[in-house]
Amino acid sequence: MRLANIILLAGAGLLFAGTAGAQTLVGLAVPLSGPSAILGEQMRAGAVTASELLQNSGLALELADDGCTAEGGATAARQFVAARVKIVIGFLCTEAIEAALPILSTENIPVIAVGVRTDSLTDRRVKTGWNVVRLAPRADAERDAAGRILTGLWRKELFAIVDDGTIYGRELSESVRLAAEQASLKPVFVDTFRPQVDNQIGLVGRVRKAGATHVFAGGDRDDIAIIARDAAQLDSGIVVAGGETLRAPPGDVPLTAGMLMIAPPEWTEIDDPAIAKAFADREIQPEGYVLPAFAAFEVAAEALRSLPSSNEAAPALEGREFATVLGPIRFDQKGDLSQNPYRAFRFDGSSFKAVETPAP
């Protein structure tokens, strides 16, 4: 079954309406309109496939288009309340989920967010009373991971830290510097470079003159690619590292073999043969938000399964481990992932491969 056929099967409301009957409903909030629609279709494909494979779970999906807007999120929430769903999965955008949560929390309906990274979503949990957990990493997870991972990898190296002067680049590079300081390490060179220029030969020259063999650059994909290219052309032997922006679409300058990237996994590998076959049979590529949405349905199913049939209380999602297609997942008391998913990857000339890092 092709993805297009799954979309037709889903319709605009209750999925598998003919078999739902007395089944427990799981709400699925995704953007099916607007600029994020392609990501919403990925989420829908993953959740629908999970619900099809877990037909014995007694669960059915109630679909709502949140449009990635506040109005769409509120409308979706009211639809879920009217349908008496027990739990909601999905949500890609902050505007939609922040409009939906006050409505859903009033009805004691928990939410498993798939794509929202905004720190305040869980930071305000005690104040707001929102019953939400998320599979996506926090916005500050990249900064925390970059500092922790690189100080472990570069403990015996001479390294430099540079950034492009933007809020993103400066906060990311500053996190690496602070982590190094806490580990009793000190960069041999710290600087801010001018972004969006044709070459960074001058910057690379200053880094090399300082004696650095490794450099972390906080900035966008194209600027970091230029730094790595110029380092290679000068035969400096400098290893260049950057953040998740290195996954941005290719620009005019290709990435250089040996570059390091701090980022979460892309979630395209499936270890379970039955699940892999299900996606292959449906001709669905497990990319983007497909597998995270599949995992969200798995978490919802397991959480609801633990409730007595007569218990109307919301299922507990924190402090327990869930087996998912992404591996074991556990949420902390705030509702964030208990383990930071960001890892180190090295570019081999064609793709990024995971790198083993020292234990903290």
Per-residue model confidence (pLDDT) at position 294:
97
pLDDT at position 107 is: 94
Q: Which residue intervals of the chain are DSSP H helices?
A: 3-10, 17-20, 37-53, 70-83, 94-106, 120-123, 125-128, 141-153, 167-182, 201-209, 221-233, 273-281, 290-305
Q: With contact defined as beta carbons under 8 Å apart, do 8 and 56 qualify?
A: no
The pLDDT confidence band at residue 319, using thresholds 50, 70 and 90, is confident
Percent of the chain with pLDDT over 70: 92
For residue 291, name the pLDDT band (cuts at 50, 70, 90): very high
Facing residues of 63 across strands?
28
Q: Which residue in 182, 184, 183, 202 sits closest to 192, CA to CA? A: 202
pLDDT in tens, 149-163: 999 999 999 999 999
DSSP letters spanning 199-218: --HHHHHHHHHTT-SEEEEE
Q: What is the mean pLDDT of residues 256-267?
A: 95
pLDDT at 111 over 60: yes
State percent of the chain over pLDDT 90: 82
Whether residue 118 has pLDDT greater than 90:
yes
Long-range contacts of 352-359 (CB under 8 A, 24+ apart): 352/246, 352/247, 352/261, 352/263, 354/265, 355/153, 355/260, 357/149, 357/152, 357/153, 358/152, 358/153, 358/155, 359/152
Helix (H/G/I), strand (E/B), else coil: 234: coil
Is the pLDDT assigned to residue 69 strictly greater than 70?
yes
Q: How far apart are CA 279 and CA 103, in angstroms?
A: 34
| Spatial distance between the Cα atoms of 7 and 26, rounded to a whole number of angstroms | 17
pLDDT given at position 345: 97
pLDDT reading at 213 higher than 90: yes
What is the pTM (predicted TM-score) of this model? 0.88
Residues 188, 197, 174: CA angle, nearest 5 degrees: 35
- Segment 203-229 shows an average pLDDT of 97
Which of 8-22, 105-119, 145-159, 233-247 shows the lowest mean pLDDT across its residues?
Answer: 8-22
Which range among 18-32, 116-130, 142-156, 282-296 shows the weakest confidence by mean pLDDT?
Answer: 18-32
pLDDT tens by residue, 10-63 = 333 445 433 444 678 999 999 999 899 999 999 999 999 999 998 777 899 999
User: How far apart (Å, rounded) are the C-alpha atoms in residues 333 and 59?
Assistant: 26
Report the pLDDT averaged over residues 55-76: 93
Residue 263 Cα distances to 91, 166, 342, 352, angstroms: 21, 19, 5, 10
pLDDT of residue 315: 80
**Cα 112 from chain centroid?**
13
**Could you give phi then psi for residue 36, rounded to 5 degrees?**
-95, 10
How far apart are alpha carbons 352 and 345 in whole angstroms?
5
Q: Would you say 153 and 131 are in contact if contact means Cβ atoms under 8 Å apart?
A: no
78 pLDDT exceeds 70? yes
Q: Which of 235, 187, 229, 183 is nearest to 212 (CA)?
A: 187
Is 60 exceeded by the pLDDT of residue 5?
A: no
Q: Look-up: residue for tokens 């710290």?
A: 190
